């Protein structure tokens, strides 16, 4: 079985480029194939390998060079095989006691990631399953650091002031979801309109925080983005950090997608202020090309973040005296059992070197710029947001609608055309996703439906960009022809 699964893995890495990006299947056919009864007796190996092939064939291929949906990068082969060793050794990285070398490797890898964003050796952190868990944990630590009562014992205090979090309109959904999960409620999330580049407006933040204080609310946290999921916008981190400092707010940066771009020399000025954050989320399973799952929460000052949780009980009592040996990840995170996620980062960075990874990131950004150039050169396309990192948001505007928009002379007419364009681009996206040639997802930028390409893939070339844009045009024409027939 080992031999056959290694063969399948090897074959997959070699052939992913030749597959359709998305399989030609329906929910029903997949269910018919896989929704079987519990296997009581062992099944023959051949049938298991057939299953594996069918699972591969029934998957969307995030590693395909024309997969541009969401923020989903391919794994390097090094990352895949690192996960084999992690599962073979099978430590649960709860603490030094339970996994001495793996725990040390995780602490070291976290220090490396901290150094990429300008943190020093006072920082601490831990790997999580992804950005949602890192953001949730950050808000939890922030709340406990800023709350004036014993939340661990009392809960979100009855009768206390409502504690407020400030975000831009471009914030990732995981932040309001975290506010919900933590019992703060979405009412505790103040959404500040973003500017015309979809960035956080520091002046509006300052004003909102002041207004809330006057109204007996207690501002405690601001979340900025170092690369929004919608358009890759990098907020003015230093400015936000300055407001945070003046208002005594915990400064969290969601850099799940974008923070690794701080490794690229030309990007450094844009990320100035990252190092001011009290906490930063950064997902190695995004722009460091490791397999899912691998997120990271970085905390600038270990002392300020120390033991926000109650982790009592004999079960986790560490019977050690040496400081290194009494370290436990459960003091900083929610999980107890923890996979050895650090190994794939360790081997990826050592096998390729940080410089080469930075080059791959820079190349992805180049691709997005190239895409934007092609879009701006084509009157049938409209670029909808500046390309700040490696996301390109645009829409298809057929000549007929383009003319109508120019001549539209009242609000209602313009609104109708706008709605028609939204519907058209949604249909283009949907058909393209199922077509299997190239995969785009979408973003809503204010009320505009954007086709969105997120390029975090070392396999993508300029030719892939060209094919993708050509597929948009073709798909639009197909839809038009169908409508007219």
Q: How far is CA 84 from the centre of its chain?
A: 24
Residue 215 binds to its own copies (criterion: CB under 8 A): no
Q: CA torsion, points 103, 307, 336, 98, in degrees to nearest 10?
A: 30
275 binds its own copies (CB under 8 A): no
Question: Which residue from 122, 76, 128 is spatially nearest to 106, judged by alpha carbons?
Answer: 128
Does 200 engage in binding with its own copies (CB under 8 A)?
no
Q: Which is nearer to its own copies, 51 or 242 (CB)?
A: 51
* 268, 307, 350, 477: which one binds its own copies (CB under 8 A): 350
212 Cβ contact partners less than 8 Å away, ≥ 6 residues apart: 164, 190, 218, 219
Size of the site for its own copies (CB under 8 A): 157
d(CA 87, CA 65): 28
Residue 369 CB partners (closer than 8 Å, separation 6+): 387
Query: Which of 21, 105, 142, 261 touches its own copies (CB under 8 A)?
Result: 105
Q: Does 39 bind its own copies (CB under 8 A)?
A: yes
Name which of 306, 309, 225, 331 is nearest 270 in CA terms.
225
Q: Which helix (H) or strand (E) holds 279?
A: strand 279-281
Q: In degrees to the nearest 10, what's the CA dihedral of 338, 342, 343, 346? A: 180
Q: Which residues pair with 368 in a beta bridge?
A: none
18 near its own copies, judged by CB under 8 A:
no
Minimum distance from residue 406 beta carbon to its own copies (Å): 28
- What minimum distance in Å lies between the beta carbon of 165 and its own copies? 11
Letters for 143-182 (x = contact with its own copies by CB under 8 A, - = none) are --------xxxxxx-xxx-x---------xxx-xx-xxxx
**Site membership for its own copies, residue 302 (CB under 8 A):** no
Nearest CA to 133 out of 141, 124, 122 is that of: 141
Hey, what are 470's tokens? 């050509």
Q: Residues 64-93: x/- map of binding to its own copies (CB under 8 A)?
A: -----xx-x-xx-xxxxxxxxxxxxxxxx-
Binding mask of the shown chain, residues 358 to 397, with x at each position contacting its own copies by CB under 8 A: ----------------------------------------
Of positions 243, 371, 375, 429, contacts its own copies by CB under 8 A:
429
Q: How far is the CB of 150 from its own copies (least distance, A)?
A: 8
Question: Interior CA angle at 284 toward 192 and 128, to 5°?
Answer: 75
Stretch that binds its own copies, among 238-246, 332-340, 454-462, 471-479 (CB under 8 A): 332-340
Q: Which of 168, 231, 374, 442 binds its own copies (CB under 8 A)?
A: 442
Report how far residue 353's alpha carbon sits from residue 346's, in angstroms, rounded to the nearest whole number: 10
Q: Which is nearer to its own copies, 65 or 241 (CB)?
A: 65
Query: Distance between CA atoms of 276 and 201, rounded to whole angstroms?
Result: 18
Residue 183 makes contact with its own copies by CB under 8 A? yes
Show the CA angle centred on residue 362, arms to residues 358 and 366, nearest 5°: 165
> Which residues contact residue 261 at a Cβ distance below 8 angstroms, ignoring those fewer than 6 apart?
227, 267, 271, 287, 361, 365, 389, 390
Question: Which of 96, 381 has the CB closer to its own copies?
Answer: 96
Look-up of token digits 């439906």? 449
Indicate the helix (H) or strand (E) that contains 49.
helix 45-57
Q: Is 272 in the site for its own copies (CB under 8 A)?
A: no
If binding is defined by CB under 8 A, does position 446 make contact with its own copies? no
Angular region, 289: left φ>0, alpha ψ -120 to 50, beta rest:
left
Which of residues 204, 217, 238, 311 is near its own copies by CB under 8 A? 311
Q: Is 288 in the site for its own copies (CB under 8 A)?
A: no
| 477 binds its own copies, rule: CB under 8 A | no
Q: Would you count residue 419 as binding its own copies (CB under 8 A)? A: no
Q: Measured from the CB atom, is 13 or 370 closer to its own copies?
A: 13
Q: Which is nearer to its own copies, 149 or 210 (CB)?
A: 149
Q: Which of 18, 42, 409, 482 binds its own copies (CB under 8 A)?
A: 42
226-265 binders of its own copies (CB under 8 A): 229-230
User: Does 297 engage in binding with its own copies (CB under 8 A)?
Assistant: no
If the CB atoms of residues 408 and 435 are measured against its own copies, the closer one turns out to be: 435
Cβ closer to its own copies: 243 or 445? 445
**CB-neighbour burial class of residue 422 (10 A; exposed 0-12, middle 13-18, buried 19+):** middle
Per CB under 8 A, the segment of 186-194, 208-216, 383-391, 471-479 that binds its own copies is 186-194
Residue 36 or 211 with smaller CB distance to its own copies: 36
Sign of the torsion formed by the C-alpha atoms of 247, 205, 218 and 273: negative
191 binds its own copies (CB under 8 A): no
């Amino acid at each position: 079985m080992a031999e056959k699964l290694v063969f399948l893995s090897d074959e997959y890495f070699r052939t992913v480029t030749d597959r359709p990006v998305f399989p030609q299947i329906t929910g029903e056919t997949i269910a018919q194939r896989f929704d079987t009864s519990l296997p009581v007796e062992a099944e023959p190996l051949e049938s298991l390998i057939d299953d594996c092939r069918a699972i591969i064939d029934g998957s969307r291929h995030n590693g395909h060079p024309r997969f541009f949906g969401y923020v989903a990068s391919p794994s390097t082969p090094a990352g895949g095989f690192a996960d084999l060793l992690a599962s073979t050794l099978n430590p649960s990285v709860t603490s030094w006691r339970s996994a001495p070398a793996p725990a040390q490797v995780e602490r070291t890898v976290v220090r490396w990631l901290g150094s990429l964003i300008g943190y020093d050796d006072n920082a601490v952190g831990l790997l999580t399953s992804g950005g949602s868990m890192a953001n949730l944990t950050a808000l939890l630590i922030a709340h406990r650091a800023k709350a004036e009562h014993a939340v661990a014992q009392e809960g979100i205090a009855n009768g206390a002031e409502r504690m407020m979090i400030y975000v831009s309109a471009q914030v990732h959904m995981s932040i309001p979801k975290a506010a919900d999960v933590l019992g703060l409620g979405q009412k505790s999330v103040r959404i500040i309109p973003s500017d015309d580049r979809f960035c956080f407006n520091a002046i509006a933040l300052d004003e909102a925080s002041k207004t809330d204080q006057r109204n007996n609310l207690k501002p405690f946290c601001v979340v900025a983005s170092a690369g929004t999921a919608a358009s890759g916008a990098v907020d003015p981190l230093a400015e936000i950090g300055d407001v945070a400092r003046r208002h005594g707010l915990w400064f969290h940066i969601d850099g799940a997608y974008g923070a690794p771009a701080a490794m690229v020399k030309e990007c450094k000025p844009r990320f100035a202020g990252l190092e001011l954050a009290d906490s930063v989320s950064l997902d190695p399973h995004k722009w460091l090309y490791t397999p899912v799952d691998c997120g990271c929460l970085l905390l600038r000052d270990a002392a300020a973040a120390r033991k926000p949780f109650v982790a009592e009980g004999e079960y986790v009592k560490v019977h050690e005296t040496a400081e290194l040996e009494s370290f436990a990840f459960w003091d900083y995170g929610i999980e107890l059992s923890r996979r050895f996620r650090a190994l794939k980062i360790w081997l990826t960075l050592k096998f390729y070197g940080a410089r080469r990874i930075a080059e791959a990131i820079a190349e992805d950004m180049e691709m997005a710029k190239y895409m934007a150039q092609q879009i701006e050169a084509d009157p049938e396309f409209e670029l909808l947001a500046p390309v700040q990192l490696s996301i390109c948001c645009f829409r298809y505007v057929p000549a007929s609608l383009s003319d109508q928009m120019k001549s539209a002379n009242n609000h209602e007419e313009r609104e109708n055309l706008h709605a028609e364009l939204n519907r058209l681009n949604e249909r283009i996206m949907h058909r393209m996703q199922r077509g299997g040639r190239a995969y785009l997802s979408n973003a809503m930028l204010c009320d505009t439906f954007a086709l969105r390409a997120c390029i975090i893939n070392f396999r993508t070339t300029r030719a892939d960009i060209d094919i993708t844009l050509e597929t948009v045009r073709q798909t639009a024409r197909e839809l038009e022809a169908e409508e007219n027939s």
